[in-house]
Structure 1
């Protein structure tokens, strides 16, 4: 197993394998106050609902629970709530640090925190942030360039990406440079609809992603939403790896097979210990 992990490290360094972060990377992450960060759908719902479970229908997937809260209390409420969750005081994970240290040219982070941005704070990079329900434009993203000297992001045109040495893509939003999140069913429906029309990624990424492998870290494929997002972001992939010690369900196995992914049967914690 350690041999294949060394191969993955080489592939990340030579830009042939793209790291793809999911919610599960926070399984062992606590805030400075000792509060567990959300690391799966259930824990996200509990965090949204002050630690209380919701109905079985709503507990099925956090985007459904978020939609329920949005309908009751408004879009601004769910956006502010998500920002509150991800601006809690917690440290980047050892795995996030290890991946950034390998200087991949392209990282996909489907989480909504800013920890990878903080790890990149001392080097030039471009940031792509996913957007939903924008009336004026079909594109479901915005592009930013990072000014290292002033530690600020500046909104720029897509052309900047042509010469970018490092790209961080946060398709589901981020707390920085301004809080913006794709989290409710309505957000996902809008984003996925435009993604299928080709409007969720800048054209440079559509070219760059061809024949790439992906390393799925903390990503579960047991929900339709996560599978559809991963499918859109990795079109024309060469294959890749999934780190998981859980028994895969029928739909997960089908997704893994269809995308030519190799499952490394180990926990993310075990993987991190070898990887770091």
Structure 2
């Protein structure tokens, strides 16, 4: 195993040139303490258990959410998402490690609906959260801004935060915003190529940065599109910690975006980050 990228990652995190990009699989690090859906498959199963969904879309999260929105109203979708993520998730070792990074300013991207990363940051001062919002509920708006107490603030406040937590799909707290249905994504994807839905502060902080994908898989088009657009105009070197075989489309995406795959369990990678050991310790 080539350990050189690991040292680059550790150094980049320490000096603030690496942007952590978290996917839902981060919640699998401590599954015993995770009472909320930790994968799109888990979430669509939960939604389909609450509302009857046609068999052909029962495994398609965005299509199932759209069906519920069409036939049971948008409020039903929001209510089900609230129910799914209301139990909350305690921050795990990775969340706590990232919350402890001290280089300023720091951008963290978290592409799932839980609030664990926000809770890990709760003890830090001068940070804030930028949430993607649905056009179905906030027509003409793409994001909302919240300070470290969860209070709505103006976009200009984000320029002063030491840590920016960007939740492109929304989150259960503080305002319960969810980009989840087909129509939600159509609205965003119509504009995302010209970067309109990406907050200016995020665009600024990503410039020249390296992205580190943790708990992410790129086996569907939406995941790839979001990652590609959030990374736009950053650096030309990135990493993804993904264990095991990749799909053909994942391999293609990683190659196109110059993302080096670190083939190892996320738990092992996280333990190494916490330990501060040299990369040699992982060359097994």
How does the TM-score come out when normalised to structure 2? 0.85
Alignment RMSD (CA, Å): 2.4
* Counterpart residue number, 1:101: 100
Question: Does the 8 A contact of 1:139 with 1:194 survive in 2?
Answer: no
Deviation at 1:255, TM superposition (A): 1.1
Deviation at 1:176, TM superposition (A): 1.4
Q: In 2 relative to 1, CA 67–135 (structure 1 residues): closer, same or farther, beyond 3 Å?
A: closer
Q: Deviations over 1:137-195 (max 9, x none)?
A: 6441012222xxxxx22222222222221111011111112111111111111122232
Q: In 2 relative to 1, CA 52–274 (structure 1 residues): closer, same or farther, beyond 3 Å?
A: farther
Question: Does the 8 A contact of 1:126 with 1:143 survive in 2?
Answer: yes
- Equivalenced residue count is 269
Does residue 78 of structure 1 match 2:83? no
Question: Does the 8 A contact of 1:125 with 1:164 survive in 2?
Answer: yes
Deviation at 1:14, TM superposition (A): 1.2
How does the TM-score come out when normalised to structure 1? 0.88
Structure 2 counterparts to residues 196-235 of structure 1, below 5 A: 196-235=193-232
Residue of structure 2 aligned with 1:131, choices 122, 130, 133: 133
* Counterpart residue number, 2:22: 21
Deviation at 1:73, TM superposition (A): 1.7
2:183 & 2:30 partners in 1: Cα distance? 29
Does residue 248 of structure 1 match 2:246? yes
Question: Does the 8 A contact of 2:44 with 2:59 survive in 1?
Answer: no
Question: Does the 8 A contact of 2:238 with 2:260 survive in 1?
Answer: yes
* Counterpart residue number, 1:266: 264
SS at match of 2:175: coil
Q: In 2 relative to 1, CA 196–111 (structure 1 residues): closer, same or farther, beyond 3 Å?
A: same
1:153 & 1:24 partners in 2: Cα distance? 25
SS at match of 1:222: coil
SS at match of 2:151: strand
Q: In 2 relative to 1, CA 90–136 (structure 1 residues): closer, same or farther, beyond 3 Å?
A: closer
Does residue 181 of structure 1 match 2:174? no
Question: Does the 8 A contact of 2:35 with 2:88 survive in 1?
Answer: no
Structure 1 residue runs of 4+, over 6 Å off? 51-54
Question: Does the 8 A contact of 2:133 with 2:142 survive in 1?
Answer: yes
* Counterpart residue number, 1:149: none
Q: In 2 relative to 1, CA 59–50 (structure 1 residues): closer, same or farther, beyond 3 Å?
A: closer
